[in-house]
Amino acid sequence: MKLNREVYKDKVKACWIGKNIGGTIGGPYEGKREILDVKGFLTESGEPMPNDDLDLQLVWLHAVEKEGAKNITAEVLGEYWLSFIAAAPNEYGICQSNMRIGLTPPLSGELGNNLWKHSNGAWIRTEVWATLAPGMPDVAARYAIEDAKVDHGTGEGTYAAMFVAALESAAFALTDLRKLIEVGLSKIPADCRVYKTIKLLLTLHDEGKTAIEARNAIQKFNEDLGDGWFQAPSNVAFAMLGLLYGEGDFKKSMLAAVNCGDDTDCTAATVGSIFGIMHGTKGIPEDWKDHIGDRIITCCINMGVCFRRVKTCTELTEKVVRLAPVVVEQSRAERQVLFTEFTDGDTEIENDVFGKLSLPYGKSEESDEMRRSLAALKPNTFTAKCGSFTVIVSYDGSPEIVGGEKRYLTLKFINNVKAYGNQPFFVNAEVLLPDGCATDKPAFRVYLPHWTPFTEDCESDEVTIGLTMPDVPGATTTVYLRLRAEGKYAVHTVPVVFVTKA
């Protein structure tokens, strides 16, 4: 796909303006559970409301700028989170606490987070990934997964982020809303609640149900999640409801979402950003655009150690547009169905673009990054990139332990053949234990195959390590894996943290 630079820039700016409008209109009603009758702004002209939906994305953009797109992982984003994000409600606070005791994402988003890992903190901050990877929904979804894992683990919040990021990225190539929704659905499991809720919404819409009837049916469908409110499946559906029932009208779409109630700043802001990408600045009414102005007001960033943050939608747009060609180029894979090329000429969209955009997640490219992403999408599992290989570490359950307990770790290794060359090798491993801990496998050697038609995943066999916990463990018990690829000089140390049950 070829994307005209000015068209792209206009869509990016419309994304951020729409986001700011929605956050400001919906902000005063956040958390209200009744059906609303909002008709416009409560704020004064030129006074956008602060919104964490935008704040975290400014931090992520700073991370991309300083680390490079290839190095953006959940672990890196977790470190930036601890450095720059001060707010600690719900899943934000839980993940911060877990990371501070050494739990690596996605475990940071799992432990003690059974309620909030299905909530809204991640899908509301996906625009940065979509605008940096326009027309490349698998790339946007992959970054959204790394982001969401920090505070949502493998919960519905992460699937919601995949869905929205993919949809937003595809909106640079398509303007057909139903097709965009199908692109989003193609990236997530059909048995997850986000998928089922969006399918329910589409059925209700096609059956001629009113927006309020659809809203009530969605809330009823998900009433078993938490207390039935503030959860990702319903609120993503409320945003899609706004777009479907808004029938291509910006104001009507946004107000339809807000009037569903619940997480109103997030649903309206996402309606605004998606609409902006689809239709550009010309699709946003001038009076609402003028009312909101250009400023970005932050509320979650730790200003005491702050980087030079952007302060306007215009400045944010310029920064994204500057970084996007680098991100796209660094996301180039040897075998890739979709790739976006920026051009000063006309935008060119392939006739079969929908079929390519809507391939299942992981099927549009063959890359080391995609292999790692697919491997990490399961509970109680994290990955660590170790140069020429990646290790996948799976606990046999929650990382919580009691004294003297027998636990097991399962390890698998991926050969990073795209970066380091298509050659097999061995990894030598040692298991380093704290006092009082024992293992049945203190050292081992594992073979990593290269790519062949018979070993397309480039993965080792699984290795299971038995561990006996100390009789009287401390607050945390850390086992270290010391790993080195034979023939390489680098030694990698991977901490595996267990937390003692209260």
Residue-level pLDDT at 371: 83
In angstroms, the Cα distances linking 351 to 8, 173, 180, 239, 354 are 19, 11, 15, 28, 8
CA 135 – CA 174 distance, rounded (Å)? 9
43: closest CA among 60, 54, 29? 29
Residue-level pLDDT at 227: 87
CB 434 within 8 A of CB 401: no
Tokens of 89: 């409600």
120: closest CA among 139, 145, 92, 142? 92
List, in order of start, the domains of the chain with CATH numbers.
Answer: 2-353 (1.10.4080.10), 380-500 (2.60.40.10)
CA 178 – CA 382 distance, rounded (Å)? 34
10-residue mean pLDDT profile of the chain (502 residues): values are 97 98 97 96 92 92 95 95 92 96 95 94 98 97 97 96 98 98 98 98 98 97 92 98 98 98 97 98 97 94 82 97 96 86 96 95 88 85 95 97 97 95 97 97 97 90 97 96 97 98 90
Predicted model pTM: 0.96
Contacts of 229 (CB under 8 A, 6+ apart): 31, 33, 219, 262
CB 384 within 8 A of CB 393: yes
CA 26 – CA 255 distance, rounded (Å)? 9
Q: Quick check: helix, strand or coil at residue 81? A: helix
Q: Quick check: helix, strand or coil at residue 4? A: strand
